[in-house]
Structure 1
Amino acid sequence: MAGRLEGKVALVSGAARGQGRSHAVRLAQEGADVIAFDVCRDLDTVPYALATPADLEQTVKAVEDLDRRIIARTADVRDLAAVQRVVDEGVREFGRLDVVCANAGIAGMAENTWSMTEEQWEEMIAVNLTGVWKTVKAAVPAMIEAGNGGCIVITSSTAGIKGMPRTAHYVAAKHGVVGLMRTLANELAPHMIRVNTVHPTGVDTPMIRNDYMAAQLADPATGVNLQNALPVEMVQPVDISNAIVWLASDEARYVTGVSLPVDAGFLQR
């Protein structure tokens, strides 16, 4: 039986591991070919290890094992020229672009908003907000030119809906992408391109499962950031991927401008 995204092509940023890999695999399971990229190196202000080229190779294998095609490249979401090269190569190879999954992101904490360094603030905003804009800027012209409509899903966070201690830069970026989504939903509606955000609670990925984040979340002032209503510590990457697949499918063909929580009830606390 054909998948819900049979014949479609999806772009996934931050695809080397975690949510990004899960999104690429779920999209492929539903029939999509994949254009993937990730920075695949550590960044100066990020206090945990980021993905590697070997991680991106594992994503490639996982998609190819599903008998789907994938182009995967190393690119920094802050580098518009590099992102544009990835998009252009993928569109040349696959002939179209239907789904954009703007997933790449980093996390970090500071004692408080005013003690945060300029470098921490600027790198967070550059990756988590400006990087989303650059991904969309690189991808949208190809989507419009193809004339097939499509869907853009931006990964925000529960921190894109409420304030959280010690994460002002992250919260600001994740709120910022909601405003970007709402504007794009209006601008792209005439082209039948839908734009939405997803808002996960804590997700069981290397971004959370590392020594640095474990130490931070042990602090009661920070641990409150992961207190779900449902009795689960965290959700799984596939839970977010399933929401993205639905948003990208014809089942959600008239859903646009929506902020969709996948949060185990966190926002009801």
Structure 2
Amino acid sequence: MPAGEGRVALITGASSGIGRATALAFARDGYATVVADVAEEQGRATATDCGRLGQQSRFICCDVSDKASVRRLIAETVASFGRLDAAFNNAGTLGELAQTGDCSTSNFDRVIAVNLRGTWLCMRQELRQMAKQESGGAIVNCSSVAGLVGFPGIPAYVASKHGVVGLTRAAALEYGRQKVRVNAVCPGPIQTAMLDQLMPGVPGGEEALVQLEPVGRIGAPDDISAAVVWLCSPEASFVTGQAIAVDGGWTTG
């Protein structure tokens, strides 16, 4: 029997990249999946592909920066499947490339609204649901290596991802006795559309990034999805409040 048989996983930002890879990984592990995103066509395609793996899956359109949309997401998840066992709060945006002194107010506000406020809005509803369940649950938030160390040219993104780590640690302390674990993954350079967006601001481009990686390669979405599914599994039952770098050693030096 698959490890996730009878369990339900919610993944935001699941239309592409890390989110899509994680939704598929949960489905392969036996979870029923809820695929959430603002990109409806791609999100529905992810849900369909999860269904082809033999598990129930549905798409729910959700803007994580909107509290009513998030409230509806969790309500529809529970109405469809009766419970919520695992959540990966992955939806995010890089924003515009600009140094701190040149970052616009609109860019800063938008990045914080999606990456930090959106993560909190999702966590708030997920925690309330999981705390009511006898079995509790597990939440993984998507931070970044830019949530652990500084990175030039994306100040709003760096601030938001540091904030995600702080939210993760606070919630882990608050909800541990209610059998809810909360962790964060901090991806390094991963081959996604977001990395493509970042590349113009990286001197030397992809080759320079590879040279900085101790493992000698850029990561793949599946590298992150494997960590997320593990963190939501019983094998990680003693792990909470952690911000785990999945970065090929990027932050080690």
| TM beyond 0.5 | yes
Q: Does 1:261 align with 2:245?
A: yes
Q: Does 1:230 align with 2:215?
A: yes
Q: Does 1:182 align with 2:169?
A: yes
Residue 213 of structure 1 and its aligned partner are, at CA, apart by: 3.1
Question: What's the counterpart of residue 77 of structure 1?
Answer: 64
Question: What's the counterpart of residue 156 of structure 1?
Answer: 143
Q: Which deviations, in whole Å up to 9, do the C-alpha atoms of 1:74-102 show, x marking residues without a partner?
A: 11100111111121111111111111100
Q: Which secondary structure does the structure 1 equivalent of 2:193 belong to?
A: coil
Residue 236 of structure 1 and its aligned partner are, at CA, apart by: 0.6
User: 1:196–1:217: structure 2 CA closer, same or farther, 3 Å change rule?
Assistant: same
Residue 217 of structure 1 and its aligned partner are, at CA, apart by: 2.5
Q: Is the 8 A contact 1:84 1:139 kept in 2?
A: no
Q: Is the 8 A contact 1:80 1:138 kept in 2?
A: no
Q: Which secondary structure does the structure 1 equivalent of 2:248 belong to?
A: coil
Question: What one-letter code is carried by the residue in structure 1 that aligns with 2:202?
Answer: L
Which sections of structure 1, spanning at least 5 residues, go unmatched? 41-52
Q: Does 1:104 align with 2:95?
A: no
Q: Does 1:55 align with 2:54?
A: no
Q: Is the 8 A contact 2:210 2:216 kept in 1?
A: no
Question: 1:215 aligned to 192, 200, 206, which one?
Answer: 200
Question: What one-letter code is carried by the residue in structure 1 that aligns with 2:250?
Answer: F
Q: Is the 8 A contact 2:153 2:201 kept in 1?
A: no
TM-score, L = length of structure 1: 0.89
Q: Is the 8 A contact 1:164 1:225 kept in 2?
A: no
Residue 8 of structure 1 and its aligned partner are, at CA, apart by: 0.8
Distance in 2, matches of 1:116 and 1:199, equals: 23
Q: Is the 8 A contact 2:169 2:182 kept in 1?
A: yes
Distance in 2, matches of 1:140 and 1:111, equals: 35
Q: Does 1:195 align with 2:179?
A: no
The total of aligned residue pairs comes to 251
Residue 25 of structure 1 and its aligned partner are, at CA, apart by: 0.6
Q: Does 1:169 align with 2:153?
A: no
Which sections of structure 2, spanning at least 5 residues, go unmatched? none
TM-score, L = length of structure 2: 0.94
Q: Does 1:37 align with 2:36?
A: yes
Distance in 1, matches of 2:149 and 2:74, equals: 33
Residue 215 of structure 1 and its aligned partner are, at CA, apart by: 2.2
User: 1:126–1:225: structure 2 CA closer, same or farther, 3 Å change rule?
Assistant: farther
Residue 216 of structure 1 and its aligned partner are, at CA, apart by: 2.4
Question: 1:144 aligned to 131, 140, 143, which one?
Answer: 131
Question: What one-letter code is carried by the residue in structure 1 that aligns with 2:19?
Answer: G
Q: Which secondary structure does the structure 1 equivalent of 2:10 belong to?
A: strand
Question: What one-letter code is carried by the residue in structure 2 that aligns with 1:123?
Answer: R
Distance in 1, matches of 2:161 and 2:41, equals: 28
Question: What's the counterpart of residue 242 of structure 1?
Answer: 226
Q: Is the 8 A contact 2:5 2:31 kept in 1?
A: yes
Residue 224 of structure 1 and its aligned partner are, at CA, apart by: 6.3
